[in-house]
């Protein structure tokens, strides 16, 4: 059965995440429904590079699709987009090796989080608006403690007894762009709620309610503190998924909030 590498984007506000769930609207569920409609069969596999939580967006989610069809990749793209709702868009379809696996072959994932320093009428669903003035320098200093291989058990809802909570963060940056604060995080993989808890702690440090040295303490000893400051999903995006030989992409804001 041929395998296709598919890249899509989605606006996650009205989805209960990526993965199929009973009695819930999910991105994977909508894609499966569209594929059944196009290929007139349920004999296919659709496997994503990873899950995103309810309300989280994707600028570039990758999945592989195994299906028997005579349709060319560009026709598959057109037909999928015609069958999908407006909040999901197929960006690219390419025939690929049967050995390619969307999740297992990914070597790095990058997420973007957008914080707005002002109220916005148009970007409410795509940012976390914070009224307090944030100390960017303190947030930048704290962010660097996350780099490298660490145990993120304090930053996840995953059970460390059933799943390794060690993750390597390859790059992390905190920059200002107009009235936005953009936080970009790249790593080998990410745990459930991990990024939102990291963002929440960085914001508490920016508010002056915690100091940057709290981060290494939380990485050394398990704590429930980060869970109390979990950032909302509205500002979070899966920005890119990198595979061997693919270049690292520069991540930038979707909004122009000045």
Residues 113 and 185 in one domain: yes
Give the pLDDT mean for 15-27.
Answer: 96
Q: Which of 33-42, 90-99, 154-163 has the lowest mean pLDDT?
A: 154-163
Instruction: Give residue 137's pLDDT band: very low, low, confident or very high (50, 70, 90).
Output: very high
Look at residue 158 in the predicted model and tell me its pLDDT: 79
Given a cut of 80, is residue 34 above it in pLDDT? yes
| Domain boundary, last residue among 70, 96, 122 | 96
Strand partners, 185: 111, 172
Q: What is the DSSP letter of 145?
A: G
Answer whether residue 200 is part of any domain.
Answer: yes
Given a cut of 90, is residue 250 above it in pLDDT? no
Beta-strand relationship, 128-129 and 106-116: parallel
The residue segments making up the domain with residue 138 are: 107-243
Instruction: Give residue 255's pLDDT band: very low, low, confident or very high (50, 70, 90).
Output: low
pTM for the structure as a whole: 0.93
CATH code (residue 121): 3.30.70.660
Residues 166 and 218 in one domain: yes
- Residues 20 and 33: their CA atoms lie apart, in Å, by 11
- Residues 154 and 120: their CA atoms lie apart, in Å, by 32
Q: Cα–Cα–Cα angle for 237, 243, 245, nearest 5°?
A: 130
- Residues 25 and 31: their CA atoms lie apart, in Å, by 11
| Domain boundary, last residue among 96, 119, 142 | 96
- Residues 99 and 102: their CA atoms lie apart, in Å, by 10
Quick: pLDDT tens for 173-224: 999 999 999 999 999 999 999 999 999 999 999 999 999 999 999 999 999 9
Residues 52 and 129 in one domain: no
Q: How many folded domains does the chain comprise?
A: 2
Please, are residues 201 and 216 in contact by the beta-carbon 8 Å criterion?
no
The residues carrying an active-site annotation are 53
Instruction: Give the Å distances, CA to CA, from 106 to 48, 109, 199.
Output: 11, 7, 23
Please, are residues 183 and 111 in contact by the beta-carbon 8 Å criterion?
no
Percent of the chain with pLDDT over 70: 95
Look at residue 163 in the predicted model and tell me its pLDDT: 85
Residue from 101, 89, 81 nearest 35 by CA: 81
Residues 184 and 72 in one domain: no
Instruction: Give the Å distances, CA to CA, from 160 to 81, 218, 226.
Output: 39, 15, 16
| Domain boundary, last residue among 96, 117, 149 | 96
For residue 170, how many other CB atoms are within 10 A of its CB?
17
Look at residue 40 in the predicted model and tell me its pLDDT: 96
Average model confidence (pLDDT) for the chain? 94
């Amino acid at each position: 059965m041929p395998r296709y590498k598919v890249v899509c984007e989605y606006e996650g506000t009205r989805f209960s995440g990526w993965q199929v769930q009973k009695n819930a609207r999910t991105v994977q569920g909508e894609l499966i429904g569209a594929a059944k409609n196009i290929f007139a069969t349920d004999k296919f596999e659709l496997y994503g590079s990873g899950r995103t939580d309810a309300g989280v967006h994707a600028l570039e989610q990758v999945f592989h699709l195994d299906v028997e069809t005579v349709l060319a990749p560009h026709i598959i793209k057109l037909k999928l987009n015609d069958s999908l709702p407006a909040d999901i868009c197929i960006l690219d379809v390419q025939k690929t090796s049967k050995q390619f696996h969307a999740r297992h072959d990914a070597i790095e994932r990058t997420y973007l989080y957008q914080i707005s320093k002002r109220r916005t009428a148009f970007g409410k669903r795509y940012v976390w608006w914070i009224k307090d003035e944030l100390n960017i320098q303190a947030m930048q200093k704290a962010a660097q403690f996350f780099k490298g291989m660490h145990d993120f058990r304090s930053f996840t809802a995953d059970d460390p007894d059933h799943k390794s909570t060690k993750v390597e963060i390859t790059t992390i940056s905190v920059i200002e762009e107009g009235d936005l604060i953009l936080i970009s995080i790249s790593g080998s993989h990410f745990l459930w709620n991990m990024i939102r808890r990291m963002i929440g702690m960085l914001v508490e440090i920016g508010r002056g309610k915690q100091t940057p040295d709290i981060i290494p303490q939380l990485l050394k000893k398990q704590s429930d503190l980060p869970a109390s400051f979990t950032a909302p999903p509205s500002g979070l995006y899966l920005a890119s998924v990198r595979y061997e030989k693919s270049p690292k992409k520069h991540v930038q804001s979707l909004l122009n909030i000045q």
